[in-house]
Amino acid sequence: MTKRFDGTRDLRRAVDRLARRLPEPLEDLAWISYNYLWSWTPGGPELFTTIDDHRFRLAGENPVRFLLNLPERDLLRTATDHHYLERLDTVARRMETDLARPSTRVTPAGPVAFLCAEFAVHSSLPVYSGGLGVLAGDYLKESSDQALDVVGLGLFYRRGYLHQRMDRSGWQHEYWVEANTGQLPIVRVRDAEGQPLKVKVPVWDSELSAQVWRVNVGRTALFLLDTELKENTPLERWVTARLYEGSHDIRLAQYALLGIGGVRALDAMGISPGLFHMNEGHPALASLEIAAQTAAQLTGERPALEQLLEINRDRFAFTTHTPVPAGNETYSSEEFFRVLGHSIDEMGIDREQLASLTRIDPSSREEPLGFSPLAIRCSRTTNGVSRRHGEVARGMWQPLFAGRAGADVPISYVTNGVHLPTWMAPNMRELLSQVLGHDWERHAHDANMWHHVDEISDVDLWDARCTMRRRLVEMIRSRIVVDRLARGEDVNLAVSGLDAFDPTNLTLGFARRLATYKRLDLLFHNVDRLRDIIDHEQGAQFVIAGKAHPLDNEAKTVAQNMFSVNRDMGLLNRVIFLEDYDMRVASALVAGCDVWLNLPRPPMEASGTSGMKAAMNGSLNLSVLDGWWSEGYNGQNGWAIDGSTLDDPREQDERDARALYDLLENEVKPMFFARDSNGVPVVWLTRIRASLRSLAPMYSSARMVDDYNERIYRRH
Ligand SMILES: *Cc1c(COP(=O)(O)O)cnc(C)c1O
């Protein structure tokens, strides 16, 4: 067997180094810190928060940084705390058992390599921006839980995605923070000689060098490519500086690194995937590297690119997440080849043949070039991410399948799901453990099991909901004071945030990327009706969060309008915008809100996943029937707004806003405030149970990964 240099040995060294700094009884903390499995193992996060909650938060919930900076006396105190050591032992044994299970091959030829431009594994590893990354992170975690032979491959953005600051007018400003690699739970992969393993990918007129980092996500390895090397020019180093850069040149270079560099990195580490799963079109150039490898093995005349892709079609699967043509990035032929030409020539690929495979109409000479058509053409299957999105994608890509009717376009769907142990609040997990039985999390997709939620008493379920809401209110209060001070607001206004929200009031959340199609403005469509809903003894309160892309001025304007309407309305402590939405904020919001709002302009929401996270926590969805909700809603498990489309968008906004206010006034509020003699909203709880029973099994990542295994990876 050839020896693999895939970072295993390098991780062991890093763990040993950290362990040497710890008192002997705490040594297990070293390897635990270097595997994000701690973050979803029961009792894992508490291993760090009980040592020093405040410092752990200051360390960005990154255990390596936390331990490296912890004062000696705290370590010594903890090392003699027997109760703590028992808990440490329990978590360590649990993780060890999990990691020791044998893996199952998904495809006979080798592991599945999951390629994606972003991964949201944990808030301390900021190489994600939103839903696509969360899906990729949840997929890796679920694969680990199911002991599947999967590796992840992405890019290591040193400055990650943007951090958000709003000014007093509500205008978004961005800043970036550079990662300190020495204190993250990642290691540089080294080769047999102990030198950093590197891959080269020609871009522009030069050769981009990249090193490889390894992150352990449970049993699954995630490899991240990084161009911050001294042999690279400043421009080349910038390639992995930030996620979703505005410049087309940088993006093309990133996608070359991800696709071509990704295959080369796996080769160099001795990993030979049976299947490349391309999550979104960004990594599609991987198909060219594989085609070039095939060509190199053939004798005789080199086949055309199309034939080479055909030979390898079984090795690729493509998941598209984009519901509108405009969402698919395209490039002019000039910029495409300016960045990628050198690589493409070196692989012996004909530029014209490639260009035509990246166009919807291969015979066009004007159409811009895109990765989605290439990804569809090189893959054995293409799928959308919800039933409705599958239909939309079939319509959208029909021109690629000339002669086929819409319904016969070979694009299927696998509806997204979320990783339950990551997104369910600890108190909810504990409550469910009491009725769902031993090891229930391994059977999250078993619909029969979820019928047992009916056995939870009203009082217990309501208590759990109130605890989650109270925790959210506490978080909002502490953050809003700081957010306001940082914006330069009046100190009195800032401090009044300590009384913001009422922990017993109906709490509604809207948090997602601030893209205009998400229609945050719908909430503020009729300010009088909104004020009526909020400003009432039995009132409501709204928490809002989300980032706009730095170049999306339209979305920034929507946020700014919201600030100004809110100021005029004078309900500043009842409608609150939380800055810098990320996984941590998301966790608190999806658990603490009673109602989760989603108001996309249909059919623009391919799936959406935050509503699934909310449902897992007993929060109820009120959403437009688009994306996952158009299949998840059953009449009893939340509320729905018509998902049909009108030609006039203004008319549609008017209709949908009216539907939203009507539901809030006539159904949501009365139901929330209808209480029995114990103060419990019995009908509301019935709806929560209906939501858990119907949604938890269907929209867990366990069901999603099963679907990928059965419908996409294994061909019948
Ligand atoms: C879940 C999540 C998303 C995706 O939410 P949508 O419902 O798909 O908009 C985006 N960002 C973060 C931080 C998340 O946790």
Residue of 549, 596, 610, 613 to mutate, ligand 1, most atoms within 8 A of C-beta: 610
Q: Residues 74, 75, 80, CA angle at the centre, nearest 5°?
A: 100
Asked whether residue 399 falls in the same domain as residue 519, the answer is no
Asked whether residue 94 falls in the same domain as residue 141, the answer is no
Asked whether residue 33 falls in the same domain as residue 119, the answer is no
What is the Å distance from ligand 1's center to 546 Cα?
9
Is position 712 within any domain? no
442-483 tens-digit pLDDT: 888 999 999 999 999 999 999 999 999 999 999 999 999 999
pLDDT grade for 634, boundaries at 50, 70 and 90:
very high
pLDDT grade for 329, boundaries at 50, 70 and 90:
confident
What is the Å distance from ligand 1's center to 202 Cα?
34
Which residues neighbour 248 within 8 Å (Cβ) at sequence distance 6 or greater? 331, 335, 339
Q: Which atom of ligand 1 is nearest to the CA of 605?
A: 8
Instruction: Determine if ligand 1 sits within 6 Å of the CB of residue 591.
Output: no
Cis peptide before 603 (omega within 30 of 0): yes
Looking at residue 538, what is its pLDDT? 87
Is position 221 within any domain? yes
**What average pLDDT does the segment 6-25 reach?**
97
Asked whether residue 92 falls in the same domain as residue 218, the answer is no
What is the Å distance from ligand 1's center to 417 Cα?
12
Instruction: Determine if ligand 1 sits within 6 Å of the CB of residue 131.
Output: yes
Helices then strands (H, E): number in the chain? 29, 20
640-670 tens-digit pLDDT: 999 999 999 999 999 999 999 999 999 999 9
Which residues neighbour 2 within 8 Å (Cβ) at sequence distance 6 or greater? 270
What is the Å distance from ligand 1's center to 653 Cα?
23
Cα(303)–Cα(127) distance, integer angstroms? 38
Q: How many domains does the chain have?
A: 3
353-397 tens-digit pLDDT: 999 999 999 999 999 999 999 999 999 999 999 999 999 999 999
Looking at residue 307, what is its pLDDT? 97
Instruction: Determine if ligand 1 sits within 6 Å of the CB of residue 220.
Output: no
- Specify the residue with its C-alpha closest to ligand 1, atom 5: 610
Looking at residue 714, what is its pLDDT? 83
Instruction: Determine if ligand 1 sits within 6 Å of the CB of residue 587.
Output: no
Looking at residue 439, what is its pLDDT? 84
Is position 367 within any domain? yes
Instruction: Determine if ligand 1 sits within 6 Å of the CB of residue 582.
Output: yes
Instruction: Determine if ligand 1 sits within 6 Å of the CB of residue 130.
Output: yes
Looking at residue 487, what is its pLDDT? 94
Domain of 380, CATH number, reads 3.40.50.2000
What is the Å distance from ligand 1's center to 577 Cα?
16
Asked whether residue 263 falls in the same domain as residue 345, the answer is yes
Cα(449)–Cα(427) distance, integer angstroms? 19
Q: Mean of the per-residue pLDDT values for the chain?
A: 95
Is position 481 within any domain? yes
Residue of 513, 518, 700 to mutate, ligand 1, most atoms within 8 A of C-beta: 513
Is position 178 within any domain? yes
Instruction: Determine if ligand 1 sits within 6 Å of the CB of residue 623.
Output: no
Asked whether residue 441 falls in the same domain as residue 405, the answer is no
Is position 270 within any domain? yes
Cα(219)–Cα(127) distance, integer angstroms? 20
What is the Å distance from ligand 1's center to 129 Cα?
9
Q: Which atom of ligand 1 is nearest to the CA of 587?
A: 15
107-120 tens-digit pLDDT: 989 999 999 999 99
Q: Of 356, 384, 413, which residue sits at a domain end?
A: 413
Looking at residue 716, what is its pLDDT? 44
Asked whether residue 512 falls in the same domain as residue 657, the answer is yes
- Judge whether residue 572 has pLDDT over 70: yes
Alpha helices in 232-329 (DSSP H): 234-238, 248-256, 262-268, 286-297, 305-311
Looking at residue 2, what is its pLDDT? 53
pTM: 0.97
Query: Percent of the chain having pLDDT more than 90?
Result: 94
Q: Of 393, 413, 433, which residue sits at a domain end?
A: 413
Q: Of 99, 126, 154, which residue sits at a domain end?
A: 99
Residue 517's domain comprises: 420-699
Asked whether residue 337 falls in the same domain as residue 464, the answer is no
| DSSP one-letter code for 204 | T
pLDDT grade for 674, boundaries at 50, 70 and 90:
very high
